[in-house]
């Protein structure tokens, strides 16, 4: 597959152009990659008005994923999340603020999008016992019931799949429910860009999602910040013309050209034997999971490229991460209950074997997982009002009854316990303490006086 962006930059550098333009390094070597770091010079196209080489590269990506349209982001899935919500909300024709039906394990970028776009959220809570803040298992039937009984019909259903632990929802069945009820299905697929290239495609677009974001950098050899916004073929005629507008609304006017080049080069990577490499890695990981389970490890159900270890009787997830670190291995995420390992075809068989052999030297017998209470709470103010309000930072132990301002979460995994505008209750405080969060931003009492 052609790489028009990369080809242009290489030719530009070979021509030894004197750079009387941005960036300020002028292509000279400080990090070593400056020669490839250009701006929107003549012929380089412009990301949000793409008509040339960037548009060609995005069409290549769309062909690879089988989408109606695919747009590049150099600001991660966070930009794509905001853009796809904007696109879905553009179809709202009712009175008042629109509503989105969303599974509670959203990334905080979703909450900030609600503040920027001023929509309401009806939360879908996990149906089974809550084992982690990262997961929110919900059935198609539950979503159907909520769509049919909502006081104000949502414009869209929003899900995270795979979640941070690797859990996947039944996107195909949920998409059928959404389409019967006349609403869009939006999926944060940040961890699953590769799913389209499995022997049996499991990408949300393949399963019927209308809008979907992928973090290319999480599972592909793309520089951090590279991501995709996909629009399904069935609605690209309706929403596709607004795609660039949506991305430009939330993106910098100086997108990283290095990230664009890595996205462009990834098209060639995906079209040249990637499926074979991916499926070899998937089979290798499945074999390792089997060996670990036979040795006594308990693994959380996860997407094919994750190994999600449950904490053992001897070590918490964080302690497992420290143990791996002492052997020069770094995990993706760890908390008290889990240690999450993300793999790709760029992890060698030798690396995977070393990981497996190390784990086989440990006692993997799982400890009993605590039952976590979801932090269901009264929504006192809109998310927008609360994010923009005057706030103060207080101790969690003093937060009972206060109203959450900005979500108190780090990344990973960036999933809010209390959402902006909610009155903080006992269950939220228990979760804050469980996850080691001791400070929270709350709306100033003076801001509540009318």
Reported as a single tens digit per residue, the pLDDT across 164-184 is 999 999 999 999 999 999 999
Rounded to an integer, what distance in angstroms lies between the CA atom of residue 208 and that of residue 392? 43
Low-confidence ranges of the chain (pLDDT < 50): none
pLDDT of residue 370: 83
N- to C-terminal Cα separation, the chain: 61
What residues contact 401, with CB distance under 8 A and at least 6 apart? Answer: 423, 424, 425
> Is-contact 261 5, C-beta < 8 A?
yes
Region of residue 107 (phi > 0: left; psi between -120 and 50: alpha; otherwise: beta): beta
pLDDT of residue 411: 59
Rounded to an integer, what distance in angstroms lies between the CA atom of residue 334 and that of residue 339? 4
pLDDT of residue 129: 78
Rounded to an integer, what distance in angstroms lies between the CA atom of residue 159 and that of residue 27? 42
Bridge partners of 214, per DSSP, are 228
DSSP code for 24: T
Instruction: Kindly report, residue by residue over 25-82, the tens digit of the pLDDT.
Output: 999 989 999 999 999 999 999 999 999 999 999 999 999 999 999 999 999 999 999 9
Long-range contacts for 298-303 (Cβ within 8 Å, ≥24 apart)? 298/364, 298/365, 298/366, 300/165, 300/166, 300/167, 300/338, 301/166, 301/167, 302/162, 302/165, 302/166, 302/167, 303/162, 303/166, 303/167, 303/168, 303/191, 303/192, 303/195, 303/202
Closest to 360 in 3D by CA, of 289, 285, 303: 289
pLDDT of residue 373: 84
Residue 234's CB: how many other CB atoms inside 10 A?
11
């Amino acid at each position: 597959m052609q790489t028009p962006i990369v080809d242009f930059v290489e030719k530009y550098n070979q021509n030894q152009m004197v750079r009387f333009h941005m960036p300020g390094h002028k292509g000279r070597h400080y990090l070593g990659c400056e020669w490839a770091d250009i701006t929107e010079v003549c012929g380089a196209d412009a990301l949000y008005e793409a008509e040339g080489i960037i548009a060609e590269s995005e069409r290549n990506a769309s062909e690879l994923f089988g989408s109606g349209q695919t747009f590049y982001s150099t600001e991660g899935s966070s930009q794509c999340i905001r853009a796809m919500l904007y696109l879905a909300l553009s179809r709202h024709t009712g009175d008042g603020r629109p509503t989105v039906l969303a599974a509670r394990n959203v990334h905080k970028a979703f909450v900030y999008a609600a503040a920027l776009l001023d929509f309401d959220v009806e939360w879908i809570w996990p149906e089974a016992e809550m084992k982690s803040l990262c997961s929110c298992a919900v059935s198609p039937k539950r979503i159907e019931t909520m769509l049919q009984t909502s006081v104000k019909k949502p414009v869209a259903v929003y899900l995270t799949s795979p979640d941070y632990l690797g859990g996947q929802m039944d996107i195909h069945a949920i998409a059928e429910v959404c389409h019967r009820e006349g609403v869009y299905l939006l999926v944060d697929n940040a961890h699953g860009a590769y799913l389209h290239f499995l022997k049996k495609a499991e990408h949300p677009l393949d399963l019927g999602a209308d809008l979907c974001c992928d973090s290319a950098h999480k599972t592909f050899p793309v520089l951090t910040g590279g991501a995709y916004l996909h629009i399904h073929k069935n609605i690209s005629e309706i929403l596709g013309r607004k795609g660039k507008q949506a991305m430009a609304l939330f993106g910098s006017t100086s997108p990283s050209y290095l990230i664009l080049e890595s996205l462009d080069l990834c098209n060639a990577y995906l079209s040249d034997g990637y499926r074979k490499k991916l499926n070899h890695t998937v089979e290798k990981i499945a074999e390792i999971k089997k060996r670990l389970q036979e040795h006594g490890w308990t693994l959380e159900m996860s997407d094919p490229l994750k190994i999600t270890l449950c904490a053992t009787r001897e070590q918490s997830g964080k302690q497992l991460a420290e143990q791996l670190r002492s052997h020069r291995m770094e995990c993706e995420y760890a908390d008290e209950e889990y240690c999450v390992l993300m793999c790709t075809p760029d992890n060698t068989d030798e690396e995977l074997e070393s990981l497996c052999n190390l784990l086989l030297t440990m006692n993997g017998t799982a400890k009993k997982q605590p039952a976590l209470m979801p932090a269901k709470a009264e929504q006192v103010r809109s998310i927008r009002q609360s994010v923009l309000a005057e706030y103060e930072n207080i101790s969690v132990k003093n937060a009972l009854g206060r109203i959450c301002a900005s979500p108190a979460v780090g990344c990973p995994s960036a999933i809010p316990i209390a959402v902006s505008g909610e009155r903080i209750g006992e269950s939220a405080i228990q979760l804050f303490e469980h996850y080691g969060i001791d400070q929270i931003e709350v709306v100033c009492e003076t801001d509540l006086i009318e």
